[in-house]
Structure 1
Amino acid sequence: MTPPPLPAIVDAEIVHARTTPVRHSFTYRSTTWLVDVDDLPRPPRALRPFARFLADDHFPEPATPGATLRDRLNAHLRGAGVDPPTGRVTALLSPRVAGYVFNPISVFWCHDADGALAYVVAEVHNTYGQRHCYVVRTDERGDARVGKEFYVSPFNPVDGTYRLRLPEPGRHTVFVSVTLERPGQRPFVATLRGRVRPATAGAVLATQLRTPLAPAVVAARIRRHGIALWLRRLPVVARPEHTQQTTIALEEKIR
């Protein structure tokens, strides 16, 4: 598959579907980016309030003056006992817009020096300001399985298995999906399907006209639908203490 030129803007359609104990789904349009972690975009000064990329917005380590996004990725992986990637790392993530950032999921495709995909890091943020990384090795379709070990929704306990579909981005399209599986059921599915276009200055400006203040809107939308579920008397699950910040599943087999 031919990779897209980076950096790139992704015009995305995002779907959340809950099937049990109540059915609830919604679809919305948003915007995210594909970037090279070693060459983060720097739009013209007038447009930087609409697309600012900070290394400290990713991975749980404390802020380190001068640390790059590659530095933070490598430090986090080493701390989890994983050898950092030796080649290119392509990331799907959202920048700060008007000073605010919210990345429900960021995906880092980590390559060896010879260009082969070594593994994928899926960094999940919840609305409580917490983060968790799933480090997985995908199959030829981009699929992986990993146990759920992070509290994301107040209506889902921390159990079950995630089936992740994380194929590398193509030249024109991106697709990512997360399916929560429990015995005999799939209570939650989220997908992101996007169209890739070059991140020109005009595209950055057009993005704000099409999906203004995207990170804040996404966070508000998630909270609004959470309130709707609460009003339907869906039981709330207490949030456990979050001590482990990384789940490694480099030997999992897809079944």
Structure 2
Amino acid sequence: MLYEARTTHVRAEPRRVFRHRFPLWLVDLDALPRLPRPLRPLARFLPRDHVRPAGADGARSIRGDLERELAAHGLELGGGRVLMLTQARSLGHVFNPLTVYWCRDAAGEPLCTVAEVHNTYGGRHRYLLRPDAAGRAEAAKDFYVSPFLPLDGHYRMLLPEPDPDPGPGGAARLHLSVRLELPGGPAFTATVTGTGRPAGPAALLRATVRHPFATFAVSLRIRTQGVRLWLRGLPVHPRPGRATQP
């Protein structure tokens, strides 16, 4: 499934809103898209974009890495399905602020949801969630993302599992949200909405024409917003383990 997605970021203080559009893929980790060779540079799903290096085992698959992490928390996929919502690597570049995995067990029952967050410093963190039937979940913040937000607080997330097969002619709807709450109230809210259609060469080409260099644009816009906040004199919260923020 390929979504025409729109992300809206709202910062509470000082109030700032920015939006951007980009393609998002919903893929089964056991059946990643197989594109014609000429189109592969436009959409690739590589383990190194989601898996931490692990010595000789660094080439493990995305699913294998996820299975090991879940097993460490006492959760067994047992051959169950995992859907991943993410941006594909395009023209040699990718940056995914958020990748979501919906995990089901061997009986097809929801097992957990994993929110994988990447920051612009090359870090990655996974939040293991147990959402309710509507996809609502909460988690304490314990990963540094923005230099303008503290490390404390907690997230309220709405991550309902999308329908990977809406039927002939059907359009799949996507609506996700992540809100960071601090003791003084909400600090930041991000929403992702979109309409999905079955993925294929034609859909990929349309998305590429509409959003050329989309993965580069995501990184650029995040950094541009950061520079604007810095120029306004917002205090910087250093990264843990660093005395100053580069």
1:107–1:121 Cα contact (<8 Å) kept: yes
1:190 pairs with 2:190: yes
Q: Equivalent residue for 2:232?
A: 232
After superposition, the Cα gap between the structure-2 partners of 1:65 and 1:229, relative to the gap in structure 1 and judged at 3 Å, is closer
| Partner amino acid, structure 2, of 1:149 | D
1:36 pairs with 2:28: yes
Matched residue SS, 1:82: coil
Q: What is the rounded CA distance, in whole Å, between the counterparts of 1:65 and 1:235 in structure 2?
A: 38
Q: Equivalent residue for 2:180?
A: 180
> 1:61 Cα deviation (Å)?
4.2
The 5-angstrom pairing of residues 65-144 of structure 1 reads: 67-78=60-71, 80-86=72-78, 87-144=80-137
> 1:237 Cα deviation (Å)?
0.7
- CA root-mean-square deviation: 1.5
Aligned counterpart for 1:45 among listed residues 37, 41, 50: 37
Q: Percent identity, please.
A: 47
| Partner amino acid, structure 2, of 1:236 | V
Deviations 1:151-177 (A, max 9, x none): 000100100010011001033111111
2:114–2:127 Cα contact (<8 Å) kept: yes
Q: What is the rounded CA distance, in whole Å, between the counterparts of 2:111 and 2:36 in structure 1?
A: 34
TM-score, length of structure 2 as denominator length: 0.91
Deviations 1:159-217 (A, max 9, x none): 00100110010331111110001224101000100111111101111111001121111
Q: Is there any run of 5+ residues in structure 1 with no aligned partner, and where?
A: 1-7, 243-255
Deviations 1:213-244 (A, max 9, x none): 211110111000110111111111101149xx
How many correspondences in the alignment? Answer: 233
Q: What is the rounded CA distance, in whole Å, between the counterparts of 1:61 and 1:73 in structure 2?
A: 13
Q: What is the rounded CA distance, in whole Å, between the counterparts of 2:25 and 2:133 in structure 1?
A: 24
TM-score, length of structure 1 as denominator length: 0.87
Matched residue SS, 2:197: strand
| Partner amino acid, structure 1, of 2:18 | F
Q: Is there any run of 5+ residues in structure 2 with no aligned partner, and where?
A: 167-171
Structure 1 runs, 4 residues or longer, greater than 6 Å off: none
Deviations 1:2-47 (A, max 9, x none): xxxxxx1111010000002x11111111111000011111211110
Q: What is the rounded CA distance, in whole Å, between the counterparts of 2:220 and 2:236 in structure 1?
A: 19
Q: Equivalent residue for 1:57?
A: 49
1:25 pairs with 2:31: no
